[in-house]
A and B are shown apart, each in its own frame.
Chain A
Amino acid sequence: MSSTLDLGSIGNLLPEDVHAAGPHLLLGYGLGDPQTATAAVEALLLDGERVSKTHAGNRTFTLPILVIGDDRDDLTARVDELLTEVDETTYTLTWTPDGGLPIVFDCFPAQAVIEWDVRIEDVAFAHQVTLTIPALPFGRSPDAITPTVTLLSTVELGKLFTLTDLVGSARAPIGAEMSFVAATDAWLIHRPPSDADPAAPILVEVTAGEAVVADAQRLRGTYSVVLGMQTYGAPGQNRIVTVTVSQDDTTISEQLVKAYVSSLNLRHLVVGNITLPLVDRPAGATSGLTIAIDDSGDSAFLAVMLLDTRGQTVQALSQADGTGASVKAWIDAPDVGEVIGPLWSSSTANRVDAYALTEPRVSGGPLSLSARDEGGTLLVYSASALPNAPVLGYYPRWLAERVE
């Protein structure tokens, strides 16, 4: 067995019969590397710099290919077929090392350079074509996997889940199918960043206008404070909600103020962003927060959610199907070239009955996972009905070649 490199519908560029008609990959090929973009920060007092990675840019394949035809006309046809394939908006290149697992690269329109030599064309019926193919930085498995989603805790109309059986060394966008025990007007799903503490208290119950957050030392970053509403009283009223966050055993507190209009559609109230903890603690220390909620009207709240601004969040605030209620919802992984995939909501259990969400709130890019998120959490909150465990699916991505 030997390695193979399959180009879309063209087939293997490394056929075993080196004399067969068709494309043959020559020496000097390169599978490229992701272009890592970094930012360097000078150290304050010492030599050296701290380098952080901001994102990975596309890789570039360089494929010198000898195309062989049965005759001159066949050569022309094969070259044309090859160039047509790599001129598509997107196509795939699948690399399977000898004894290894196939990995698929999503490619974009290529630059083709033909070495014209009439003697080789007329005598050997061959052309050398060098393809420069831009591709997404990381290849993916050809088959999707379904991670395990296990219930961790339930708070009012929200649930925290643990994610396990994750595969893939590079981050991959995921699709999610969400369902609820009954129809719901709105829902929210949040995936904290991969370095977040899985035990961080990001979903807390509100009792009599106050939420007590234990183990708050696990919260470290800037969070959006979102209130799950219980009742809002009369609609159409101008109101002010004031959220005061205090850190126990300190005199430090911060206040967030938000003006809003009470509405049937307002189920999750985003109050503002806050950086926590208010006062840092050393490793091993514990800390608590008290979150007091004061509303100028008669709104009542069920829960407080602390959504890391470095994570991914999707909020559905209304549905387009006219019923205003959702039994099932889908978050599709984005296609190549998109940053956010389609978002669907259905009043039945069937996807064919779904409509696109018209009032979504999306941040942090598409929902995504990698093996580094093993044991991480996923938060789902619903306006009026408990959510079931979402079904997730994705094509694992790999930094170099596929491991499993």
Chain B
Amino acid sequence: MRAGGEVWTSTPDDVGSDRIYLGQLGEVVGLHHSSSYPGGSKSLSCTLNVDPLFSHRALTPGRDVGVTVGAEEAWLGQLNDPVINEDGSRAITADGDAATAQHFVALGLGTHNALDANEVIDAARLSGRHSRFRRPPVAFPVADGLYAFDGAYMMDEALAQNASAAGKRWRVDLDRVIRFYDLAGDGTRLLFRARHDIGRTLDGFLTRLDAVYLDAATGFRMTEHLDASPADTGSTFYPAFYTPDLSALATGHHFTLYSDGTTVTAYAIFAYATAVTLTLDGLGIDLALAETSQFYTRWTATASLAVGTAGITGTYKNAGGGTLGAGAQEGKVHRGRGSLGPTGNIAPREAVIDLTGEGAFTRQEVNQQLAQYMAKTKTQPHYTGSWTVTQGDLLNRGGVPVNLQTVRAGVQVVVLVVDPTRNLSLAADTVLVTIGETEYDADTDTLVLTPAETPDRAERQPYIDPATGLAR
């Protein structure tokens, strides 16, 4: 019997009424379906063998399309207009839920903030324009950005912005709930017994980032730069991801913490030159001022911090111990993302971003942009190429083969790299790869896995006006 799930179409309503299986109309062959991360279900194609004059409401464009595997859906989307082949068979194609989000303008209901994912999803649902999508009971955090008004984005762009602001990626799950997941994946981890080389690249890794911008005061074309933090002086490099801290807007000051397990480093974008100590409240850790530049201050201490802990408050103090600044400043500890392996020092890699098309900026604003862009660089090995797997190649953590039809993009794959130069023994390092795209072929029962891309540095970043604390 041929593998592959059952393809059906139904009325595009909330309950999926009038479900009709294409297999009841004729033979379905050549089934392919794909998924992406971020996004979700991406595309589907198959051929329905019927007579040339065949006509049925199940083939009406715009109907919902799904693939059922077991008792669960493995793919969901919307039907395109079937094409009649020479022999009368129908070439069936469908856009996945992720793709259909590209066709809807993001509109806010109440505040008309296109970057409020809660409003955008609710508006699409209530208007009936895209009624099947829902959001989780816990509201998404509201993002702020350069263009937050209705119509500035399509729905997928708005979701990407929202997720990006939270350091996440968005995906439409198979219950049609839009959820945010970690950049590293949806939490599912599979084991992959590789049979060929895994392409590895340092694309995205930077040690220095320059920005070209138009100065708000003079209108002149200016440049600024930011070095990667923490500075790489050793044989390993512990990068961190940065999430803009929006919690201390009232004071206009905030700091960001990094930790490599033995050293804590804080960057305060807005210089507070007279401060001598940045005390992390309640933790007994005092960070000393290590560097002052025109645009930021850097504080360090030899200490350990538990990664992933949020809501750490700190107080700037002067030499006499008195506090400085109004209110507490809040930060979040970010985790080290691992090393690039025992490869020795990393050579400098630099890039330039062009902000001249985004309007005029002050130096402080540019440095904030630099910090956000730098945080998007992927400072761990990035994997390239695609791998084709067959049944039995992908295992769950317990070593049991997984049904390939049920694997979606967003899973993490632990790759056992076989190095042919080592007498076919397993190589020393285990590689963890987030899958950005899957494509399943029912005829051959194979699955193509493509590693996820690095977060796009050029994504429009949320930006806060330091004077007003409002989105600019």
CB-defined contacts of B141 to chain A, threshold 8 Å: none
State whether A280 and B399 are in contact (beta carbons under 8 Å apart), knowing that A309-B69, A359-B17 are contacts in the complex: yes
Interface size class of B (residues with CB under 8 A): 35 or more
Other-chain residue from B15, B134, B193 in contact with A259 (beta carbon distance below 8 A): B134
CB-defined contacts of B400 to chain A, threshold 8 Å: 220-221, 275-277, 280
Q: Bound state CA distance, A222 and B396, in angstroms?
A: 10
| B195 touching A279, Cβ below 8 Å | no
CB-defined contacts of B70 to chain A, threshold 8 Å: 222-224, 273, 307-309, 311, 313, 363-364
A48 at the interface (CB under 8 A from B): no
A340 at the interface (CB under 8 A from B): yes
A41 at the interface (CB under 8 A from B): yes
- Segment touching A, from B221-229, B262-270, B332-340, B401-409: B401-409
Q: Bound state CA distance, A277 and B401, in angstroms?
A: 10
State whether A54 and B396 are in contact (beta carbons under 8 Å apart), knowing that A39-B446, A222-B402, A358-B17 are contacts in the complex: no
List A293-340 residues whose CB lies under 8 Å from chain B: 296, 307-311, 313, 315, 334, 337-340
Q: Bound state CA distance, A233 and B391, in angstroms?
A: 42
| A44 touching B27, Cβ below 8 Å | no
CB-defined contacts of B23 to chain A, threshold 8 Å: 334, 338-340, 362, 365
Q: Bound state CA distance, A116 and B184, in angstroms?
A: 71
Other-chain residue from A54, A279, A337 in contact with B397 (beta carbon distance below 8 A): A279
State whether A221 and B137 are in contact (beta carbons under 8 Å apart), knowing that A54-B443, A309-B69 are contacts in the complex: no
> B354 to chain A: closest CB distance in Å?
42
List A32-70 residues whose CB lies under 8 Å from chain B: 37, 39, 41-42, 44-45, 50, 52, 54-55
Identify the closest chain B residue to A263 (Cβ).
B15
List A257-306 residues whose CB lies under 8 Å from chain B: 258-261, 263, 265, 268, 270, 272-273, 275-280, 296
Other-chain residue from B14, B21, B406 in contact with A360 (beta carbon distance below 8 A): B21
State whether A315 and B71 are in contact (beta carbons under 8 Å apart), knowing that A54-B443, A342-B24 are contacts in the complex: yes
Identify the closest chain B residue to A46 (Cβ).
B424
A171 at the interface (CB under 8 A from B): yes
B interface footprint on A231-273 (CB within 8 Å = 1, 0 otherwise): 0000000101000000100001000001111010100101011
> A193 to chain B: closest CB distance in Å?
10
CB-defined contacts of A296 to chain B, threshold 8 Å: 137
| A171 touching B27, Cβ below 8 Å | no
Other-chain residue from B3, B14, B24, B68 in contact with A341 (beta carbon distance below 8 A): B24
CB-defined contacts of B406 to chain A, threshold 8 Å: 222, 273, 309
> A192 to chain B: closest CB distance in Å?
11
Identify the closest chain B residue to A239 (Cβ).
B137
Q: Bound state CA distance, A277 and B395, in angstroms?
A: 11
A361 at the interface (CB under 8 A from B): yes
| B391 touching A52, Cβ below 8 Å | yes
> B208 to chain A: closest CB distance in Å?
42
Q: Bound state CA distance, A44 and B391, in angstroms?
A: 14
> A84 to chain B: closest CB distance in Å?
19
A368 at the interface (CB under 8 A from B): yes
A14 at the interface (CB under 8 A from B): no
The count of residues in chain A whose C-beta lies closer than 8 Å to any C-beta of chain B is 62
B18 at the interface (CB under 8 A from A): yes
A145 at the interface (CB under 8 A from B): no
| B444 touching A258, Cβ below 8 Å | no
Q: Bound state CA distance, A296 and B177, in angstroms?
A: 16
State whether A363 and B69 are in contact (beta carbons under 8 Å apart), knowing that A55-B1, A171-B1 are contacts in the complex: yes
B interface footprint on A349-384 (CB within 8 Å = 1, 0 otherwise): 000000000111111110010000000000000000
State whether A44 and B134 are in contact (beta carbons under 8 Å apart), knowing that A309-B403, A339-B27, A359-B19 are contacts in the complex: no
A200 at the interface (CB under 8 A from B): no
| B19 touching A226, Cβ below 8 Å | no
| B69 touching A279, Cβ below 8 Å | no
CB-defined contacts of A259 to chain B, threshold 8 Å: 134, 136, 175, 177
B5 at the interface (CB under 8 A from A): yes
CB-defined contacts of A50 to chain B, threshold 8 Å: 392
Q: Bound state CA distance, A236 and B138, in angstroms?
A: 19
Q: Bound state CA distance, A263 and B15, in angstroms?
A: 10
B26 at the interface (CB under 8 A from A): yes
Q: Bound state CA distance, A315 and B443, in angstroms?
A: 25
List B26-60 residues whose CB lies under 8 Å from chain A: 26-28, 49
State whether A340 and B24 are in contact (beta carbons under 8 Å apart), knowing that A223-B70, A252-B398 are contacts in the complex: yes
CB-defined contacts of A52 to chain B, threshold 8 Å: 390-391
CB-defined contacts of A308 to chain B, threshold 8 Å: 70
State whether A363 and B68 are in contact (beta carbons under 8 Å apart), knowing that A240-B137, A339-B28, A368-B1 are contacts in the complex: yes
State whether A45 and B424 are in contact (beta carbons under 8 Å apart), knowing that A39-B444, A364-B6, A368-B1 are contacts in the complex: yes
Other-chain residue from B5, B392, B443 in contact with A41 (beta carbon distance below 8 A): B392
B465 at the interface (CB under 8 A from A): no
SS class, residues of chain A in contact with chain B: strand
State whether A222 and B403 are in contact (beta carbons under 8 Å apart), knowing that A360-B21, A363-B70 are contacts in the complex: yes
| B399 touching A273, Cβ below 8 Å | no
| B398 touching A279, Cβ below 8 Å | yes
State whether A273 and B72 are in contact (beta carbons under 8 Å apart), knowing that A44-B195, A279-B397, A296-B137 are contacts in the complex: yes
Q: Bound state CA distance, A125 and B235, in angstroms?
A: 94
B445 at the interface (CB under 8 A from A): yes
Other-chain residue from A222, A280, A362 in contact with B6 (beta carbon distance below 8 A): A362
A interface footprint on B379-399 (CB within 8 Å = 1, 0 otherwise): 000000000001111001111
CB-defined contacts of A261 to chain B, threshold 8 Å: 14
CB-defined contacts of A341 to chain B, threshold 8 Å: 24
| B399 touching A279, Cβ below 8 Å | yes
B200 at the interface (CB under 8 A from A): no
Q: Bound state CA distance, A360 and B49, in angstroms?
A: 22
State whether A339 and B17 are in contact (beta carbons under 8 Å apart), knowing that A221-B403, A275-B396 are contacts in the complex: no
Identify the closest chain A residue to B392 (Cβ).
A41
| B1 touching A260, Cβ below 8 Å | no
CB-defined contacts of B68 to chain A, threshold 8 Å: 361-363
CB-defined contacts of B69 to chain A, threshold 8 Å: 224, 273, 309, 363-364
| B19 touching A54, Cβ below 8 Å | no
Identify the closest chain B residue to A190 (Cβ).
B71
B2 at the interface (CB under 8 A from A): yes
CB-defined contacts of B136 to chain A, threshold 8 Å: 240, 259
Identify the closest chain B residue to A219 (Cβ).
B400
B418 at the interface (CB under 8 A from A): yes
Identify the closest chain A residue to B19 (Cβ).
A359
Identify the closest chain A residue to B2 (Cβ).
A55
Other-chain residue from A45, A260, A337, A363 in contact with B71 (beta carbon distance below 8 A): A363
| A307 touching B1, Cβ below 8 Å | no
> A295 to chain B: closest CB distance in Å?
13
Interface residues in chain A, defined as those with a beta carbon under 8 Å from any beta carbon in chain B: 37, 39, 41-42, 44-45, 50, 52, 54-55, 171, 188, 220-224, 226, 238, 240, 247, 252, 258-261, 263, 265, 268, 270, 272-273, 275-280, 296, 307-311, 313, 315, 334, 337-342, 358-365, 368
**Could you pull out 12 A-B pairs where Cβ atoms are within 8 angstroms?**
A45-B418, A55-B1, A222-B402, A247-B398, A272-B174, A275-B398, A308-B70, A309-B405, A340-B23, A361-B71, A364-B69, A365-B6
Across the A-B interface, give the 6 residue pairs with the lowest CB-CB distance, nearest first: A339-B23, A309-B70, A224-B70, A222-B403, A224-B71, A279-B398
Task: List 19 additional contacts besides A39-B444, A275-B398, A334-B23; criterion CB under 8 Å.
Answer: A39-B445, A41-B392, A54-B444, A55-B2, A171-B1, A222-B70, A223-B70, A247-B398, A259-B175, A270-B71, A277-B400, A338-B23, A338-B25, A338-B26, A362-B8, A362-B68, A363-B71, A364-B69, A365-B6
